[in-house]
Amino acid sequence: MADNRLIVALDFHTLEDVKTLVEELGDSVSYYKVGMELFYSAGPQVITYLKEKNKNIFLDLKLHDIPNTVGEGLCSLMRLGADIVNVHASGGFTMMKTAAEKLHALAEKQGVPCPKIIAVTILTSINEEDWAGLGMECEIRHQVVRLAKLTKEAGLDGVVASPQEASAIREACGPDFMIVTPGARPAGAAINDQSRIATPASALTNGASHLVVGRPIRAAEDPKAEALAIIKEMESVK
Ligand code: C5P
């Protein structure tokens, strides 16, 4: 009944809140995203809990440091049990390649599946003014595609991107590249602070492989019914 392409964002500060939602959603959701606010306050016990519940985990900590540090950091996250981990593509080709090699080598040594490694290209919160302030002169959308290609060349599995960027990335990086898109909003749902949104079906049609959905499910009167409605919409796009 769950669809592995739906990843529900656990944007909470406590394990108790996590447990309440995960119990409520039951077997309708199999993939969860743990971000920095939850991991920094509740720590590895969140991962242990989700693993006990047989859930898959996208550990969204967006590592950005020198190659060796990021590689060792990812190895620690793999040992915890993450299924998807991520880095900032702006850390560069060498950082991404070294990190991916370290993680693959450890997974092989331990005889376990290697987590998928994806990269954040340009944060979707960056606007034209921020962009200019960084001294960047090219267009954001061109840089997003350039970084997605670099991510692929470095041996990573995919990127996090807005639904609006998905089709250009899909075209540039091919059918097997993961494109994980936040900002999915079912028709009629509150937009909150997201600006570049798409419905779940249109995000998939545009090339997304996975959707991260937070508030539309967490804030629903009946979160499980909302998750099932989103899955139903997703099932219409295979
Ligand atoms: O509540 P909502 O559906 O907007 O949650 C989306 C999730 O995806 C949040 O955890 C948010 O931090 C994350 N995210 C995002 N935009 C990005 C990267 C991550 O909304 N560019």
74-103 tens-digit pLDDT? 999 999 999 999 999 999 999 999 999 999
Query: Within its chain, how far is the Cα of 227 from the centroid?
Result: 17
Tokens of 31: 């993939």
Mean pLDDT throughout 116-133?
Answer: 93
What pLDDT does residue 193 have? 78
Judge contact between 150 and 89, C-beta under 8 A. yes
Pocket test for ligand 1, best of 87, 124, 212 (most atoms within 8 A of CB): 212
Q: Is 97 a catalytic residue?
A: no
Q: Which CATH number fits domain 6-235: 3.40.50.720, 3.30.720.110, 3.20.20.70, 3.60.15.10?
A: 3.20.20.70
Cα(9) to ligand 1 centroid in Å equals 7
Nearest residue (CA) to ligand 1, atom 15: 182
What pLDDT does residue 31 have? 98
Phi, psi of 56 (to 5 degrees): -90, 150
* Ligand 1: lining residues by beta carbon, under 6 Å: 9, 11, 35, 123-124, 160, 182-183, 192, 194, 212-216
Index of the ligand 1 atom closest to the CA of residue 124: 21
Index of the ligand 1 atom closest to the CA of residue 192: 4
What pLDDT does residue 190 have? 78
Tens of pLDDT along 23-76? 999 999 999 999 999 999 999 999 999 999 999 999 999 999 999 999 999 999
What pLDDT does residue 54 have? 98
Look at the alpha carbons of 70, 44, 59, 83 in this order and tell me if their dihedral is positive or negative: positive
Domain definitions of the chain by residue range = 6-235
Q: Enumerate residues 6+ apart whose C-beta is below 8 A from 31.
A: 2, 4, 6, 7, 8, 55, 56, 57, 58, 83, 210
DSSP 174: -
What is the chain's alpha carbon radius of gyration, rounded to the nearest angstrom?
17
pTM comes to: 0.95
Tens of pLDDT along 164-201? 899 999 999 999 999 999 988 887 777 777 776 789 99
What pLDDT does residue 165 have? 93
Categorize the per-residue pLDDT at 137 as very low, low, confident or very high, splitting at 50, 70 and 90. Answer: very high
Nearest residue (CA) to ligand 1, atom 14: 182
Q: Where does the chain have alpha helices with state H?
A: 15-25, 36-42, 45-52, 67-80, 93-110, 128-133, 140-153, 163-173, 200-205, 215-218, 223-235
For strands 210-213 and 56-63, give the pairing. unpaired
Share of the chain above pLDDT 90, in %: 87
